[in-house]
Structure 1
Amino acid sequence: MTEIPIPLLQRDVDEASHRTLSERGLAYRTVPAADPGFDGWIQAVARGFQDGERSAEQIAGARGRNSGRRLTGVFDESGPLPEVAVGTIASWPSELTVPGGTVPAGAISAVTVAQTHRRRGIARALLEGEVRTVAAAGLPIAMLTVTESTLYGRYGFASAASAAILDIDTRRVRWSGPAPDGRLDFIDRASARDLVATLHDRTRHRTPGDIALPPGHGDRFTGTDPDAKDGGDIRCVQYRDAAGEVRGILTYSLAPHERDIVKGTAKVTILIAETDDAYAALWRFLLELDLVAHVHAELCSVDEPILWMIGDRRAASVTVFDHQYLRIVDVPAALRARTYGAPGRLLLRVSDPLGIATGEYLLTVDDDGTGTVSAAADAETSGAEELELSVVELAAVYLGGVSPATLGRAGRVHGTGLARASRMFASTTVPRVGLWY
């Protein structure tokens, strides 16, 4: 009888990690948002990300945002604050956009370890336990956005989508983009929150690496959380096309210059454009704001069209960093979920530091880009080109953000199929996710 996976949110803690932590005198348990123990869990998360102690109002707001997540904590009951976690992690079922489609995925967040409890195996137990939990729940991929990029490779994660920070000197900009005939209007933050959710859902399937909007993120972008400290600083602008349809939303705040009022900075919170006209209109609005000399936008694509709309390319400073990390736990399901850029047959010899996805797989791609996957032991592999790699490299190439040939030159991937695999895994759209989670 085939075992039906228990949904991610209903699963208990991983047994192997539980044993490891118990041997070290540490308790490891799930902490539902409605549980009284949530207070100590969220205080630990805030401390881990170098934030201040949470007030009762902030805890209540966080409780609501986390009600749809699986929260897990590690507790040292021998310490002076047994109710405050010394390690935290959160996860929830989500959906990842891939070339040609989507795939179910387990999103991971809130990974922290108290400075007082480093080098006790807490991070390893939390991450390995969560990866195994995602796999046991039947989700093909685990994913997260990272603050420390050196931590996750040992658990099978790889950078799969980069992001760019744009700093634009508006005094050097001469607009050379289109002039759309729609209209721009300021709107209230509550309306903007609803538009963020609507437009994100209508546009997220276009870009590999994008995900379903996590719970509470609409409020985060618009400052409408009940506990938001500076929510009133956020301004919201919508774009309607000539037919009257809302096609874009922009939220931003203004930071005045400390000495010169005409040298302020506009900081983009989020910009979602369903059409090219909406994109151009919202960006032009930003770049022509009064009393603003700089526009700062994070989590942009590394190939933003705005860089070709400003006349002077050197008006923009671009910083690229690794952002979205993936971890493949079910190789056949993950590979079947996407389409491919070229036909071919690849024998993939995959290793996995946790042993979850280790195996040999035959990937066959038809002329229309559809891929089928089978265990090599059950398939005729003669004539297939070969690729030897770990789940880390497989995750890195999965969205098309880097080619197998590049990783081959770096000594990370080996085999006769490097050139063909590079054509197969290529994506016409640069992967990106425009949010932290």
Structure 2
Amino acid sequence: MVPVNNAVWHDAPVDLRSRAALAVRDLQYRTVSHADDADYAAWLQANARGFQDEERNDEQIATSRELSAHRRLTGVYDGAGPMPEMPVATLSSWVGELTVPGGRGISSCAISSVTVAPTHRRRGIARAMLEGELRGAAAAGLPMAMLTVSESTLYGRYGFAPAAASAAWTIENRRAGWRGPRAPGRVDFIPRRRVRELMPILHDRVRLRAPGEIEVPGEFWDRFAGTRPDVKDGGKVRAVQYTDPAGDVRGLALYTVTGNDEDFTKARVHVPYLLAETDHAYAALWRFLLELDLVGTVTAHELSVDEPLLWLIEDQRAAKVTVRDHQYLRILDVPSALQARTYAAPGRFSLEVTDPLEIAGGRYLLDIAGDGRATVSRLRTGQSADAVAVTLDIRELSAVYLGGVSALTLARAGLVQTSDATAFARSLSWHVAPRLSFWY
């Protein structure tokens, strides 16, 4: 199956089954056009309202429409309400590449902007939209769907599972000390416009190293760098780069400073984004941030659960690290998804996969060779005699896909049934912790 590209997905119609289900409730489910000023503005205002944000002004609407042109927008409309032009529910998506174990990428449906107006909750609107989006993506040939969530309990019913956790750090920088290397090269301030130019280049050079990372649409780089005309407090963003002894840029960091009026020596630094191509770049940038003058604490979010930073500071107790769910995945095509990644150990497994949405369920034979590559086929009668039997839901298969959670852990939790949990866990494990460095 050849996955569809974003240009084709962008113009795909809504799912007919979901459209019919909502029409019975006198609700219209349709796509939204970026080219129609009023249609787009109404969708954006509804989306902002759904996230309890302020109403957008004309400049914000124009900027958002330009930078989000890659997104496929859908909405649900109530013609009987006082504002029939404004959707009562929103969703956006686009096709992006997800990094999988083995340094490869697979085309995936990135879902965002999911809102339902408080006036229209518990009417099956969110279910119809999400199920429709997943059915449409599967029909288009996309093997995976992905999202980051505001509420972690909402998406399991659709087959999503947390597959890459993130770590939030708070570091007492004076206490932390530095035991890491003094990297060669240099760290310098650069303009925000320059860091906006450099980030996508550097990200594309490193994103295939970490399972869970994705292609980043341009609108996010403008948000990170504070270069969007409509961004709040963009001028607070400071940017530095690390160049190696040859003069090549190998790392970038963004940070903001919040002063402390009661004690000027205890400002708070927040690091929303740090990108390093080499170990020297990583060490040089973190050392710079932890040795800033007049700073009491340094915070950073969306870091890996296995950051080398913990071993670069003298006092590990100076760092408070909080781990939580972050990148959610939902497999839409079991053979395509499982054949795309690399495995840690050979094995032969018969998979009985259940899927409440009837998108990707079935019986499959996962045959992993000694080189870590796999073939996956529909299971035929008598074909699994020498295979380890595994029964699991699509949710659990999605959870273990990046190697961030052990199948043995899920078996002990009663979520995976298998005759050899150790063998299954050994094969699906991966030596690099999955991560995703931003929200979308």
TM-score normalized with structure 2 length: 0.97
Match among 186, 196, 212 for residue 189 of structure 2: 186
Confirm whether residue 260 of structure 1 aligns to residue 263 of structure 2.
Answer: yes
Q: Aligned pair in 2 of structure 1 residues 103, 3: CA closer, same or farther (>3 Å)?
A: closer
Confirm whether residue 77 of structure 1 aligns to residue 79 of structure 2.
Answer: yes
Q: CA deviation at 1:245?
A: 0.6
Aligned position for 2:27: 26
Aligned position for 2:111: 108
Q: Aligned pair in 2 of structure 1 residues 222, 87: CA closer, same or farther (>3 Å)?
A: same
Aligned position for 2:244: 241
- Supply the AA of the counterpart residue of 1:431: P
Q: CA deviation at 1:417?
A: 3.1
SS of residue matched to 2:262 = coil
1:165-190 CA distance string (max 9 Å, x none): 00001120210011001101100111
Q: Aligned pair in 2 of structure 1 residues 217, 55: CA closer, same or farther (>3 Å)?
A: same
Q: CA deviation at 1:379?
A: 7.6
The answer as to whether partners of 2:353 and 2:394 remain within 8 angstroms in 1 is: yes
The answer as to whether partners of 1:362 and 1:379 remain within 8 angstroms in 2 is: no
Confirm whether residue 195 of structure 1 aligns to residue 189 of structure 2.
Answer: no
Q: Aligned pair in 2 of structure 1 residues 433, 378: CA closer, same or farther (>3 Å)?
A: farther
Match among 45, 48, 65 for residue 46 of structure 1: 48
Partners in 1 of 2:247 and 2:266 — Cα distance?
Answer: 34
Aligned position for 2:63: 61
Partners in 2 of 1:62 and 1:413 — Cα distance?
Answer: 43
Confirm whether residue 370 of structure 1 aligns to residue 369 of structure 2.
Answer: no
Q: CA deviation at 1:278?
A: 0.3
- Supply the AA of the counterpart residue of 1:282: L
The answer as to whether partners of 2:3 and 2:142 remain within 8 angstroms in 1 is: no
Q: Aligned pair in 2 of structure 1 residues 247, 5: CA closer, same or farther (>3 Å)?
A: closer
Confirm whether residue 221 of structure 1 aligns to residue 247 of structure 2.
Answer: no
Q: CA deviation at 1:4?
A: 9.4
Q: CA deviation at 1:215?
A: 3.3
Partners in 2 of 1:4 and 1:90 — Cα distance?
Answer: 19
How many residue pairs get aligned? The number is 436
1:120-131 aligned within 5 A: 120-131=123-134
**Greater mean deviation of Cα atoms: 224-233 or 269-278:** 224-233
Match among 332, 344, 349 for residue 347 of structure 2: 344
Partners in 2 of 1:422 and 1:32 — Cα distance?
Answer: 45
Q: Aligned pair in 2 of structure 1 residues 4, 337: CA closer, same or farther (>3 Å)?
A: closer
Partners in 1 of 2:191 and 2:301 — Cα distance?
Answer: 23
Aligned position for 1:138: 141
1:26-74 CA distance string (max 9 Å, x none): 1111012222311111111111112111111011111012101100011
Aligned position for 1:15: 16
Q: Aligned pair in 2 of structure 1 residues 290, 362: CA closer, same or farther (>3 Å)?
A: same
Q: Which runs of 5+ in 2 are unaligned?
A: none
Confirm whether residue 291 of structure 1 aligns to residue 294 of structure 2.
Answer: yes
Aligned position for 1:88: 90
- Supply the AA of the counterpart residue of 1:130: E
TM-score normalized with structure 1 length: 0.98
The answer as to whether partners of 2:193 and 2:225 remain within 8 angstroms in 1 is: yes
Match among 368, 380, 384 for residue 381 of structure 1: 384
SS of residue matched to 2:289 = helix
Q: CA RMSD for the aligned pairs?
A: 1.4
The answer as to whether partners of 1:74 and 1:86 remain within 8 angstroms in 2 is: yes
Q: Aligned pair in 2 of structure 1 residues 60, 311: CA closer, same or farther (>3 Å)?
A: same
Partners in 2 of 1:33 and 1:435 — Cα distance?
Answer: 25
Partners in 2 of 1:274 and 1:361 — Cα distance?
Answer: 38
Match among 419, 423, 426 for residue 426 of structure 2: 423
Partners in 1 of 2:135 and 2:200 — Cα distance?
Answer: 31
The answer as to whether partners of 1:348 and 1:360 remain within 8 angstroms in 2 is: yes
- Supply the AA of the counterpart residue of 1:137: A
Q: Which runs of 4+ in 1 moved over 6 A?
A: 2-6
The answer as to whether partners of 1:68 and 1:215 remain within 8 angstroms in 2 is: no
- Supply the AA of the counterpart residue of 2:216: L
- Supply the AA of the counterpart residue of 1:62: S
The answer as to whether partners of 1:75 and 1:85 remain within 8 angstroms in 2 is: yes
Q: CA deviation at 1:137?
A: 1.1
**Greater mean deviation of Cα atoms: 373-382 or 415-424:** 373-382
Q: Aligned pair in 2 of structure 1 residues 11, 420: CA closer, same or farther (>3 Å)?
A: same
Q: Percent same amino acid among aligned pairs? A: 55
